[in-house]
Amino acid sequence: MLLEARNITKSFTGVKALDGVDFDVRPGEVHVLLGENGAGKSTLVKVLAGVHAPDRGTVERAEGARLAVIYQELTLVPGLSVAENLFLGRPPRRFGIVDKARMRQDATRLLDRVGLRVDPGTPVAELGIAQQQMVEIARALDLDAQVLVLDEPTAVLTDTETDRLLAIMADLREQGVGLVFITHHLDEIRRIADRVTVLRDGRSVGVLPRGASVDRMIELMVGRTISEQYPRRRQAPGEVLLRVEGLTRAGAFHDVSFHVRAGEVVGVAGLVGAGRTEVVRAAFGVDRYDSGRVEVGGRTLPGHDVRAAMRAGLGLVPEDRKGQGLVLTSTVGDNLGLVTLRSTARAGLVDRKGQRGRAADMAERLRVKTSGLGQEVRELSGGNQQKVVIGKWLLADPKVLVLDEPTRGVDVGAKVEIYELVNRMTAAGRAVLLVSSDLPEVIGMSDRIVVMAHGRVAGELPAGTTQDKVMALAVQEFPA
């Protein structure tokens, strides 16, 4: 045994995050930790790593066994370069001075290993979150650990990157490394897990062997079965609510056109770097564009003006929710009310009581695990923070809601709730633009799918298309 935790109990004010959990790691295995958002997975990781002292219980490590952890929250320093982050606190030295040339070389070797093609001198702030995650992974790999813990590394990765990471993990397993792997993607568990420990409400409710069925995992995890993973209810589309026409920004996206009608969910698929997030951010007014037009409900929006976009009825759940979607030091209730409060206040009245009622309602529907609306958002588990951002925009009820990777890091049960709320919006005549790297999700929930490649629209596919057809368009090359 490389690592053995016994009877771990850990409480935070008002919450018992872990309650008598046993967990161990053997050499040469991938031990998956599975559970709903807030079940206690990250807390257990932090206890294993010694970040949190348990209230009760013990953690024993085999002599000399080193542990490396890839935490759920990214820990890179945005102002520093990729290489500086890789060797933070332990740069290669020569005669006592940091050896820059060697650092560059070592960094290139590590980046190669994870398949990340960026210059080691690039500031981390300029990378997308998938790329940042790959840097985190590269850094952990360099530590030569006997135990490697990965807390939801694939949440922000696309299929290709995930494939590569799973291959690296299988390699490490061959070399006798013990891996602890957390993910909400059950197919990944089927591919790589040797054992699965399921946590529910801070307790270990079972250990499944390799090859356990997805249904069995879901049942243990949420305590019920889920009949329909993508419960899309379609209806006849109405008028065009969002029209993007010829949108172009040099170096980012070129001549992008599409529209979304009332009652429709239009998916946007593509590989990382295809320009999907860039286009929706520009359409929402966060970033500028060089030419083209964005219309909401027939009215052209001024460029680079988020307030105007919101007034016109556009909403955006951003991809980088920690950075752009939440006020971490505010309460759950205040975060849920952020957008709605602004609009009611503008109308000259603030109905605080109604506001709180609706916030409480939404928190319950999305099963946000919290001790109450007064709890600070930063104390919530990763997945529950995501739910709060989505809840805030669903409450705001915009005419057109743009969801950029809405179910990243969200457990299977809560995903279905989000899809039901999307259905409710479209049934009420709203329109939804769904940007997602999760192919089953984008195919299962969209009425039409716009596929982007290299900053352009590569084509459009109807509902019920196949993953192969989406991928064929997503890898399309354009003549220069």
How many CB atoms are closer than 10 A to CB 312? 22
Least distance between ligand ATP and beta carbon 261 (Å)? 34
The CA-atom distances, in angstroms, between 428 and each of 99, 125, 228, 385, 432 are 62, 39, 22, 26, 11
Among 21, 42, 161, 419, binds ligand ATP (CB under 6 A): 42
Distance of CA 386 to the CA centre of its chain: 8
Least distance between ligand ATP and beta carbon 208 (Å)? 17
The residues, any chain, with a CB within 8 Å of residue 4's CB and separated by 6 or more, are 23, 24, 25, 59, 60, 61
Euclidean distance between CA atoms 424 and 361, whole angstroms: 15
Nearer to ligand ATP, 313 or 406 (CB): 406
With H, G, I as helix, E, B as strand and everything else as coil, classify residue 325. coil
Nearer to Mg ion, 385 or 426 (CB): 385
Q: Which stretches of 67-139 are assigned E, i.e. beta strand?
A: 67-70, 93-94, 97-98
Nearer to ligand ATP, 182 or 433 (CB): 182
Query: Considering the rule CB under 5 A, would residue 43 count as an interface residue with Mg ion?
Result: no
Q: Which amino acid is at 434?
A: L
Which one of Mg ion, ligand ATP, none interacts with residue 37, CB within 5 to 8 A by kind?
A: ligand ATP
Among 30, 72, 184, 434, binds Mg ion (CB under 5 A): 72
User: Considering only 12-20, 131-139, 273-281, 396-404, which stretch makes contact with ligand ATP by CB under 6 A?
Assistant: 12-20
Nearer to ligand ATP, 82 or 217 (CB): 217
Euclidean distance between CA atoms 332 and 320, whole angstroms: 18
The DSSP symbol for 373 reads T
Least distance between ligand ATP and beta carbon 387 (Å)? 9
Nearest residue (beta carbon) to ligand ATP: 383
C-alpha atoms less than 13 angstroms from C-alpha of 366 in its C-beta half-sphere? 32
Nearer to Mg ion, 42 or 204 (CB): 42
Euclidean distance between CA atoms 368 and 384, whole angstroms: 5
Query: Considering the rule CB under 5 A, would residue 386 count as an interface residue with Mg ion?
Result: no
Phi, psi of 32 (to 5 degrees): -85, 140
User: Considering only 39-47, 249-257, 325-333, 464-472, which stretch makes contact with ligand ATP by CB under 6 A?
Assistant: 39-47
Query: Considering the rule CB under 6 A, would residue 133 count as an interface residue with ligand ATP?
Result: no
Count of residues touching ligand ATP (by CB under 6 A): 19
Nearer to ligand ATP, 40 or 263 (CB): 40
Least distance between ligand ATP and beta carbon 410 (Å)? 8
Task: Show the tokens assigned to 444.
Answer: 């299962």
User: Considering only 38-46, 309-317, 333-341, 350-358, which stretch makes contact with Mg ion by CB under 5 A?
Assistant: 38-46
Query: Considering the rule CB under 5 A, would residue 132 count as an interface residue with Mg ion?
Result: no
User: Considering only 10-18, 87-95, 96-104, 155-163, which stretch makes contact with ligand ATP by CB under 6 A?
Assistant: 10-18
Do residues 320 and 74 make contact, with C-beta atoms less than 8 angstroms apart? no
Which one of Mg ion, ligand ATP, none interacts with residue 436, CB within 5 to 8 A by kind?
A: none
Nearer to ligand ATP, 111 or 412 (CB): 412
Among 2, 29, 34, 35, binds ligand ATP (CB under 6 A): 35
Nearer to ligand ATP, 43 or 355 (CB): 43
The CA-atom distances, in angstroms, between 288 and each of 241, 254, 283 are 21, 13, 8
Query: Considering the rule CB under 5 A, would residue 384 count as an interface residue with Mg ion?
Result: no
Q: Which of 361, 287, 371, 374 is nearest to 335 (CA)?
A: 374
Footprint of ligand ATP on residues 65-94 (CB under 6 A)? 72
Nearer to Mg ion, 42 or 436 (CB): 42
Query: Considering the rule CB under 6 A, would residue 183 count as an interface residue with ligand ATP?
Result: no
Count of residues touching Mg ion (by CB under 5 A): 5
Is the Cα torsion angle 24, 25, 27, 33 positive or negative in sign?
A: positive
Euclidean distance between CA atoms 87 and 149, whole angstroms: 19
Footprint of ligand ATP on residues 369-388 (CB under 6 A)? 369, 379-384
C-alpha atoms less than 13 angstroms from C-alpha of 228 in its C-beta half-sphere? 9
Euclidean distance between CA atoms 70 and 76, whole angstroms: 11
Nearer to ligand ATP, 261 or 369 (CB): 369
The DSSP symbol for 117 reads -
Instruction: Give the residues lining the site for Mg ion (CB under 5 A).
Output: 41-42, 72, 381-382
Instruction: Give the residues lining the site for ligand ATP (CB under 6 A).
Output: 12, 15, 17, 35, 37-43, 72, 369, 379-384
